[in-house]
Structure 1
Amino acid sequence: MNRRVTVYLLVVSLQILAITADNHDYVALNALKEAWENTPPSWVGSDPCAGWEGIRCTNSRVTSITLASMGLIGQLSGDIQSLSELQTLDLSYNKGLTGPVPPAIGTLKKLSNLSLNSNSFIGSIPASIGNLSNLYWLDLADNKLSGKIPVSTGTTPGLDMLVKAKHFHFGRNQLSGEIPSQLFNSKLALIHVLFENNNLNGSIPSTLGLVQTLEVLRLDRNLLSGPVPSNLNNLTRVNELDMSNNSFESSDVPPWFSTLQSLTTLNMEQTQLQGKLPVDFFSIPQLQTTVLRNNQLNGTLDIGPSHSNQLQLVDLQNNRITDFTQRAGYDNELILVGNPFCLESGGIAKYCTLPQQSNSSYSTPPANCVPSSCISDQISSPNCSCAYPYTGTLSFRAPSFSDLGNSSIYTSLQGALTQSFHTHQLPVDSVSLSNPTKNLDDYLVMSLKIFPSGQAYFNRTGISGIGFVLSNQTFKPPPTFGPFFFIGSNYGYFAGVSEGKPKSSNNGIAIGAAVGGSALVLLLVLAGVYAFSQKKRAERANKQNHPFASWDGSKNSGGVPQLKGARCFSFDELKKWTNNFSEANNIGSGGYGMVYRGTLPSGQLVAIKRAQQGSTQGGHEFKTEIELLSRVHHKNVVGLVGFCFEQAEQMLVYEFIANGTLRESLLGKSGIRLDWSRRLRIAIGAAKGIQYLHDLADPPIIHRDIKSNNILLDERLNAKVADFGLSKPLGDVDKGHVTTQVKGTMGYMDPEYYMTQQLTEKSDVYSFGVVLLELVTARSPIEKGKYIVREVRQAMDRTKDLYNLQGILDPAIGLGTELRGLEKFVDLALSCVEETGLKRPTMSEVVKEIESIMELAGLNPNAESAPTSASYESSSKGFDHPYSNNSLFSYSGAYPPLKIEPK
């Protein structure tokens, strides 16, 4: 008997050891915990699979994170990529979550449900999401996302690759550009395409008609134009179609409307529809709501005797309908206000007056019981039990009733909600509705309270399930209410937050007594093994969370770097992502070492600078660049993705900038034509990047190596300042300078700094002035022994057009067009290269002057550059990479002083 019990205890103990979470999962979740505020209080200990709320595991791996309405604050970091078994990520209804959606999310190949709706995420939709081949649900609605909808290019992924996805929920964001025709194809299984309330423009792509599985299509409240594709008649399963508040090309009512036999709701308000509504349109069997107001519909309206018996609302306000054929059988809401039928003939009063809106203080009454007197923040439910409800706001876009005081209407909605929650087996006792009102958009808005069943609190799983039911458009309200959306509030109460802690059992004592001392010894051994494994896990986690514990301060690299947010990569990772640092991936070289192109698992391209072995100066520059770039974040400064310093390696990982250096483009090697307007936008971008370093970085940073080879151009030709290996923080602001060994690049170097070894912010201004002269001449600073500053000063004549510089200007700048502001631009450049720093402007003054020049040239200083898809006018002419440094050389004290020519 004792042997059997001993074996049983051994098996149980081994199982306990086996079910603890994978170490990488723990590290990733712990990183998320550190990045977020208001994480569940149960998130303690080193095993997320053992009681962390909102976390579900399978075979010791985290497979689900559901944290809807938790009040989370912070950013979603790229550490999420370590959760390689994750299938569900639901962070909806946490308005405190902000920052970009990390591209690393595209590495979670098993993800099937991604719900990030109703947060404050910014930036673009990562194209890497297209790698999620198992994704079923994609909800990014109600955020602050911007940019274009990404599609695949052959080398990069896109959303058109999500052939298993059924839900594209992108509404209520700031997305722009055209809806790509490539986004839709016949292989997609989409049932919901929700793009409402964005800034999308252009025409609706005809490829949308290929997705015959669609049930809900919302394109309303965008900037769409052009004709509505006729092949949308293929969408025979669509039941809700809303394209209102766009500027489509004026056209007659499409005859294919009548072929959409599953249609329940049609909203085409203010879309320039014209012509006569066909009578057979109203015979669509399931049609409930039709809103076509503010168009140019004309002729005689005939709803027809065989209209749908589901029809509740026909809103045709402000059209050109001249007559209405009376038919028996339709007695529901019909609004013809603002039509000639009402204005000229007097019409019928019930159709020619707006429904009178009645204010309502309706609130769901108790269900044949006496409301309880509740303590604290608890509220009495309709069933008169005290609890903490989950609250939010329901908004209905096209209700077919106007009497807001009709309580029977809300009773039907209340019953439908309760039934839906019970159908989905959610722990809901009852629901309460209150304060129905109409907002400025004429939406019916009301408060919703959902009460838990069996206890006073919901747990996190219950809240997540409720949010899912109310946001996925599968809940169908009664026909009189029509389409809706839900905005949930943070839920501050959860079951078991301060109670219900697991209690130990006395069974172990009894069994222990039975099996005797041998079993006790065995358990102690197992406990020791477990404690040892947990210690090792904690050490590994600490090493990953604190990577500089082993920093080698030798080789003049200084003390441990003080970083903010840069990611530490392993040598093996970078080796893999560069194909073992292959020659094919080598994209440049310099005094620091080699530069390689790499591709992260997320699909993001990066540039990896690998230091030469044994470079003592490189070690110091390595540390400097990490420290500086990890705490500078600006759209005109190149972003540091991470670094590596193991195995005697020193590597910096940057974002890969698509269009290379400014120098390459000026030399014509990139195939990009830089006209005057583009050069001005490059100048303002670079100036703002340097201004940020001088004025907003803490402490201020002097770049010390501003040159056209260190200004990179992204895919929209936005300028980004790069290469901080020589940069110096200005620790003592009052002192105003740093006394340091002279380093920099010949031709760009401040002569005052060279002479005095006193580095100031005005040294960067001098270098930038040289770059401005490069922008208008496309000449190197020192070319065939001639110095660009001297050449411009000698050639210019302020009494003549364009200062008589036609012979020195770059022909590609556009001499056939008016170069408005060029003279002021040259004046600014020459003021920047004054011999003494006191005579030079500050970078903030430079920015203001370039903005003034741009306005003079008819340009908006704050507008983005045009995408380079329209920029290439010839094939590449030897353009290899954005990080080469072979046309100019860096100075570190080995060259004679510059000879400064007098003006």
Structure 2
Amino acid sequence: MMGSKVQVFLLVISIQILLVAAQSSEDFAVLKSLKDVWDNTPPNWEGPDPCGNSWVGIRCNNSRVTAITLASIGLTGKLSGDLSSLSELQTLDLSYNKGMTGPLPASIGSLKKLTNLILVGCSFSGQIPSTIGSLQQLLILSLNSNSFSGSIPPEIGYLSSLYWLDLADNKLSGRIPVSDGTTPGLDMLVNTKHFHFGKNQLSGTIPPKLFSPNMSLIHVYTCKEFAQPYSKNKQLFENNNLNGSIPLTLGLVQSLEVLRLDRNLLTGPVPSNLNNLVHVNELILSNNQLSGSFPNLTGMNVLNYVDMSNNTFDESEIPSWFSTLQPLTTLKMESTRLKGQVPVSLFSLPLLQTVVLRNNQLNGTLDVGSSYSDQLQLIDFQNNLIVAYTERAGFKNKLILAGNPICQETVETKTYCAIQQSNPTQYSTPEKNCVPSSCSINQTSSPNCVCAYPYTGDLYFRAPSFSNLGNSSIYTSLEDSLMHSFQSHQLPVDTVSLSNPTKNADDYLVLRLEAFPSGEDRFNRTGIPAVGFVLSNQTFKPPHTFGPFYFIADSYGYFAESAGHRKSSNTGIIIGAAAGGSVLLLLALLVGIYSFRQKRRAEIADKQNNPFAAWDPRKDSGDVPQLKGARSFSFEELKKCTNNFSDANVIGSGGYGKVYKGVLHSGQLVAVKRAQRGSMQGGLEFKSEIEMLSRVHHKNVVSLVGFCFEHDDQMLVYEYIPNGTLKESLSGKSGVQLDWTRRLRIALGAARGLQYLHELANPPIIHRDIKSNNILLDERLTAKVADFGLSKLMGDPEKGHVTTQVKGTMGYMDPEYYMTQQLTNKSDIYSFGVVMLELVTARQPIEKGKYIVREVKQYMDKTKLLYNLQEILDPSILVTPLKGLEKFVDLALSCVEDAGAERPPIGDVVKEIENIMQIAGLNPNADSASASSSYEAVKGYNHPYSNESLFVYSGAFPPSNIDPQ
């Protein structure tokens, strides 16, 4: 009986060991694949056990990888979709590696246990994937200082636990998303304390729904990273293109502590209830177009820093509340139409450091009084109407009155009448009772006078509560705070040095930071990522006066390598061997299984990281595809997701092959385009399309999820577009009813996609096959440009064209390109003009021998209603007023001019369609489906990709078969 229990026990233990080995080997395979696609990974990333061998930057729990922290080590490469297999990963910090490029893979949403996603100061680009909304445990989302573009994913609103949201300093555009009952939005983030969206290209109005009284402080963070949480909300939207008025609901967020809306296009009055925000320390509304009465901030008794400069408020005397803000350090009201006498009481505020009221209409005599603040450093009243100045004994601080009448009438030269240049603030952490050492090249003498190679970078404080940059005591408190944070995390930092405090163009305080190693003259590869993580993860909390910050580090190139890190310990093996003969035998068996699995996974990882190892340039249509980031799928993955390429999953077919509907492991619906084996046309299109689509990421361009190149198979994996092609909707096949409103939105969406290809893609792309078959409609009828099989990269911009074999589709082809074989972006404009005419007529470009361009020109009479086109217009749009139709037809005909030089560039086309939509009473930035009544698909219509869809190969036609006119 006892023997059977031991056997059962050993069996259970062996199963557990096998499961752990299988999971940890999968983690190893992922890290191996990352090592293969990244350069400059740590040298000790060797051996089959990242956890047991203590790979630098890898933290584990029970042999599973839980954290990857690799800040500032000079990594280069892309973020592979394989990362999604690290199912236990909680922290990912790759900050300050400028060589990290490409988009974030959509599969990142599979990391369900992720709490910290920190990619500060890299070079990532493309759209932020909506799948981030699946990371329900996320606390820190820091993607600032990259090159992300596109709109903010509304799915971020699902991150109910989020504490810190930083998307600043990117190229994000579009509106701030809020929920509407069916889609999420940022208004759902009622527990998020930091909203940082500055230095982007966000547009539209600030949604009133974004703010609510539910945004209140909730202390729910107990982990060490949040031991000292900020107590209030920070809302920073500076330096965007936001317009409209400041919503009244902003006054409801009484937990707000910092508010920056400067450098936007905001108009209208400041909300009258803004003074309900009694906890706000920093208020910056400068450089907008705000108007109306000068705001009354009475009651905001903790304000330190106020800047409302460069707005057009009504003329006003200096408000009395100026003199009641006892904590005020900085008052900036340049070009705000203030007038009258400056009250003496203003200068007696005890903490006042800076007063800038230039370019107003202040008059009378300026008197700072006898009880002016001993911290006062600058009074700048340039270009006002001040006629006299009462000089006070002892006041020697900086005063500027240039451009006032007093300086025109004063006989003797006064320093305050000159425009004085600001001298850089000279501060550097002083030595600690020692003499600085004379150091070798690249070394620096620390405050302890020890030569070393410091870890360096810049600290950016977005809303400091002071403006006197020469106050050395305030930097001493910051140095002490930094050292306390490093020491509390037991990091190898001996001392820190701060220097060169400046205010940059964004009104951020910038400080140079040097952190010096302890015990040696340089950091090792473990120390640098740990120090970087403290600064990137917001673990360090600066003194309150500095406000929220971010850090941009320099790469560190002076690592101290230790041979001991490359050696693995055999202690576990020795202990295991001593456990007994039966266990040894079991472990030997497990090791054999483990080694086999490891070898197999390593082979798979190698194959995934070089998916084109078997590419034959002679057989497979040219050189190996050059990708800018696309996931490589295995044949087995796609076989499984399409139910063994079942005929029931076929959603389209054509000369290229078949298209299958599939469901990935993550639940994402995809369309898998599988080429016919041995097809040379397929090889050409495969190479072209994978290269083009891996470069582009835009709301109005179909997304390439990935590809497969193995088993003599060529497959492309796209996002699944449920409503098929525009052609199918115009023909009635899909059952989607397109009224005039929807057609305008589809035209705008397709034009914006084309604009992205022509003007924003690098290098620019000429699509070469724009047609209604190649414009897809998603679930909200958003238009997406598709099929890049014939596309060409625009080469020399000075040349302006690419000489190439004529290819395209009859009826859409540019006659100038056909005649000269010179392809330009104006060739796409011609094709798009034909699509515009399709939108209004629902006729094919060539139908019964009649060409749509010629037909429209023949019927058109500009002196009559709707240009006399009623006979050829689609009857289904005649049931509603066709506002803007005439301008739409004019634009379409300008696009199909015979000479490319006479056609408008795509940017002008987009602007004109936006104007037409406004004429029709439509918002150009609203979603498509929400703008019209609901639609129903035709019963039984399940295949959005017909045999004439985007997956049909469009090859070259012999000249005798082409009749573009």
Same fold (TM over 0.5): yes
- 2:875 maps to 1:875: no
- 2:552 maps to 1:488: yes
**Alignment-derived partner of residue 54 in structure 2:** 51
C-alpha separation in 1, matches of 2:529 and 2:143: 15
C-alpha separation in 2, matches of 1:902 and 1:876: 37
**Alignment-derived partner of residue 297 in structure 1:** 338
C-alpha separation in 2, matches of 1:545 and 1:118: 28
Q: 1:666 to 1:133 in 2, by over 3 A?
A: same
Instruction: Report deviation, 1:112.
Output: 2.4
SS of the equivalent of 1:207 reads helix
**Alignment-derived partner of residue 228 in structure 1:** 270
Give CA-to-partner distance per residue, 1:700-741, whole Å, 9 cap, x none: 9975xx6422233679999654346899999xx9996599xx
Q: Which of residues 57, 73, 85 is equivalent to 1:82? A: 85
Does the aligned pair in 1 maintain the 2:134–2:158 contact within 8 Å? Answer: yes
SS of the equivalent of 2:838 reads helix
C-alpha separation in 1, matches of 2:438 and 2:953: 80
Report the AA paired with residue 253 of structure 2: V
Q: 1:28 to 1:185 in 2, by over 3 A?
A: farther
**Alignment-derived partner of residue 227 in structure 2:** none
**Alignment-derived partner of residue 344 in structure 1:** 387
Task: Output aligned runs, 1:68-217, within 5 Å.
Answer: 68-96=71-99, 97-100=123-126, 101-188=128-215, 189=217, 191-217=233-259
Instruction: Report deviation, 1:368.
Output: 1.6
Report the AA paired with residue 711 of structure 1: I
Instruction: Report deviation, 1:638.
Output: 3.2
Q: 1:463 to 1:851 in 2, by over 3 A?
A: same
Instruction: Report deviation, 1:381.
Output: 0.4
Tell me how large the CA RMSD over aligned residues is: 6.2
SS of the equivalent of 1:370 reads coil
Q: 1:192 to 1:749 in 2, by over 3 A?
A: closer
Unaligned runs of 5+ in 2: 1-8, 100-122, 218-231, 401-415, 795-800, 918-922
SS of the equivalent of 2:243 reads strand
Does the aligned pair in 1 maintain the 2:661–2:720 contact within 8 Å? Answer: no
C-alpha separation in 1, matches of 2:793 and 2:423: 65
Does the aligned pair in 2 maintain the 1:577–1:600 contact within 8 Å? Answer: yes
- 2:732 maps to 1:671: no
Does the aligned pair in 1 maintain the 2:748–2:913 contact within 8 Å? Answer: no
C-alpha separation in 2, matches of 1:513 and 1:773: 79
- 2:299 maps to 1:259: yes
Instruction: Report deviation, 1:627.
Output: 3.4
Does the aligned pair in 1 maintain the 2:44–2:565 contact within 8 Å? Answer: no
C-alpha separation in 2, matches of 1:273 and 1:690: 41
Does the aligned pair in 1 maintain the 2:378–2:398 contact within 8 Å? Answer: yes
Report the AA paired with residue 237 of structure 2: F
More off after superposition, 645-654 vs 183-192: 645-654
Does the aligned pair in 2 maintain the 1:437–1:444 contact within 8 Å? Answer: yes
C-alpha separation in 1, matches of 2:276 and 2:335: 27
Instruction: Report deviation, 1:264.
Output: 3.2
**Alignment-derived partner of residue 595 in structure 2:** 531
Does the aligned pair in 1 maintain the 2:72–2:528 contact within 8 Å? Answer: no
C-alpha separation in 2, matches of 1:164 and 1:143: 24
C-alpha separation in 1, matches of 2:636 and 2:13: 37
Does the aligned pair in 1 maintain the 2:722–2:777 contact within 8 Å? Answer: yes
**Alignment-derived partner of residue 4 in structure 1:** none
C-alpha separation in 1, matches of 2:650 and 2:246: 40
Does the aligned pair in 1 maintain the 2:833–2:892 contact within 8 Å? Answer: no
Q: 1:748 to 1:600 in 2, by over 3 A?
A: farther
Q: Which of residues 851, 858, 861 is equivalent to 2:904? A: 851
Does the aligned pair in 1 maintain the 2:651–2:659 contact within 8 Å? Answer: yes
Q: Which of residues 414, 420, 431 is equivalent to 1:366? A: 431
C-alpha separation in 1, matches of 2:63 and 2:465: 49
Task: Output aligned runs, 1:417-428, within 5 Å.
Answer: 417-419=482-484, 421-422=486-487, 426-428=491-493
Query: Structure 2 length normalisation: TM-score?
Result: 0.70
**Alignment-derived partner of residue 703 in structure 2:** 639
SS of the equivalent of 1:196 reads coil
Report the AA paired with residue 246 of structure 2: I
Task: Output aligned runs, 1:236-251, within 5 Å.
Answer: 236-251=278-293
C-alpha separation in 2, matches of 1:690 and 1:438: 37
Instruction: Report deviation, 1:313.
Output: 3.8
Does the aligned pair in 2 maintain the 1:90–1:114 contact within 8 Å? Answer: no
Q: 1:520 to 1:444 in 2, by over 3 A?
A: closer
Q: 1:83 to 1:369 in 2, by over 3 A?
A: same
Instruction: Report deviation, 1:383.
Output: 0.1
Give CA-to-partner distance per residue, 1:398-429, whole Å, 9 cap, x none: 7866685x766755654555455546655432
Does the aligned pair in 2 maintain the 1:322–1:340 contact within 8 Å? Answer: no
Q: 1:734 to 1:47 in 2, by over 3 A?
A: same
Q: Which of residues 309, 318, 329 is equivalent to 1:269? A: 309
Percent identity between the aligned chains?
46
Q: 1:28 to 1:382 in 2, by over 3 A?
A: same
C-alpha separation in 2, matches of 1:58 and 1:515: 23
Q: 1:471 to 1:551 in 2, by over 3 A?
A: closer
Instruction: Report deviation, 1:851.
Output: 1.4
Task: Output aligned runs, 1:542-581, within 5 Å.
Answer: 542=606, 544-545=608-609, 564=627, 565-568=629-632
Give CA-to-partner distance per residue, 1:453-492, whole Å, 9 cap, x none: 333334555555456548859744586xx65855533231
Does the aligned pair in 2 maintain the 1:686–1:719 contact within 8 Å? Answer: no
Instruction: Report deviation, 1:644.
Output: 6.8
C-alpha separation in 2, matches of 1:465 and 1:221: 33
**Alignment-derived partner of residue 842 in structure 1:** none
Report the AA paired with residue 497 of structure 1: E
Unaligned runs of 5+ in 1: 1-6, 832-844
Give CA-to-partner distance per residue, 1:640-664, whole Å, 9 cap, x none: 2235799999975323568864436
Task: Output aligned runs, 1:858-869, within 5 Å.
Answer: 859=912, 866-869=924-927
C-alpha separation in 2, matches of 1:444 and 1:401: 9
Q: Which of residues 354, 357, 360 is equivalent to 1:316? A: 357
- 2:465 maps to 1:380: no
**Alignment-derived partner of residue 521 in structure 2:** 456
Instruction: Report deviation, 1:632.
Output: 0.8
Report the AA paired with residue 228 of structure 1: V
Does the aligned pair in 1 maintain the 2:866–2:885 contact within 8 Å? Answer: no
SS of the equivalent of 2:605 reads helix
Q: 1:528 to 1:43 in 2, by over 3 A?
A: same
Does the aligned pair in 1 maintain the 2:25–2:598 contact within 8 Å? Answer: no
Does the aligned pair in 2 maintain the 1:204–1:228 contact within 8 Å? Answer: yes
C-alpha separation in 2, matches of 1:325 and 1:692: 54
Instruction: Report deviation, 1:265.
Output: 2.9
Q: 1:429 to 1:120 in 2, by over 3 A?
A: farther
Report the AA paired with residue 86 of structure 1: L
Give CA-to-partner distance per residue, 1:70-115, whole Å, 9 cap, x none: 3444444444433333333333333442222344444444332222
C-alpha separation in 1, matches of 2:514 and 2:908: 53
Q: 1:599 to 1:153 in 2, by over 3 A?
A: farther
SS of the equivalent of 2:692 reads coil
Report the AA paired with residue 454 of structure 1: G
- 2:697 maps to 1:629: no
**Alignment-derived partner of residue 120 in structure 2:** none
Does the aligned pair in 1 maintain the 2:840–2:873 contact within 8 Å? Answer: yes
Task: Output aligned runs, 1:21-60, within 5 Å.
Answer: 22-49=24-51, 50-60=53-63
Does the aligned pair in 2 maintain the 1:428–1:450 contact within 8 Å? Answer: yes
Q: 1:721 to 1:279 in 2, by over 3 A?
A: closer
Give CA-to-partner distance per residue, 1:259-311, whole Å, 9 cap, x none: 33443333333344564555556545644433333323345555759976444
Q: 1:885 to 1:622 in 2, by over 3 A?
A: same
Query: Structure 1 length normalisation: TM-score?
Result: 0.74
